Amino acid sequence: MKYLSIGEAAAELDIPDSTIRYYEKMGLLPLIERDNAGRRIFSEDQMTLLGTVMCLKNTHMPISDIKQYVDWIVEGGAHARAPARDDEQPQASGAGRNRVDDGKPERH
């Protein structure tokens, strides 16, 4: 398995080393491995996670939400899926269900 140094990882993603250190400090990059000299080394999986963190950060998602998402990924399984937004929650049958919009105004 090939590992990248922090400088190589930063160059590959076109970000400063300090950004990676900050993400690690904030808990967004758990399980970072280190070499015998104590330097951070990044596996392919860590690079994938770092790329995901950057994508989420680029959507202006708060760090606390990104951390929760990363925690779910680390836990694995079904917990790795992001929770559904309110507008994606399944509706209960019966009252409260909206009709399919057929283009006609709704009568009350």
Contact 91, 97 (CB under 8 A): yes
Summarised one tens digit per residue, pLDDT across range 73-82 is: 888 844 445 5
- pLDDT level of residue 4 (50, 70, 90 thresholds): very high
pLDDT at residue 71, as a whole number = 93
pLDDT at residue 92, as a whole number = 52
In this structure, the number of other CB atoms found within 10 A of the CB of residue 20 comes to: 24
Domain residue spans of the chain = 4-82
**CATH number for domain 4-82, candidates 3.50.50.60, 1.10.1660.10, 1.10.3720.10, 3.80.30.20:** 1.10.1660.10
CA dihedral 23, 29, 34, 39 (to 10 degrees): -10
pTM score, whole prediction: 0.66
Say which DSSP state 43 is in. -
More confident residue, 55 or 84: 55
Residue 73 buriedness (CB in 10 A; 0-12 / 13-18 / 19+): middle
Tokens of 39: 């330097």
d(CA 76, CA 34) in angstroms, rounded, equals 23
Summarised one tens digit per residue, pLDDT across range 86-103 is: 555 555 555 544 555 555
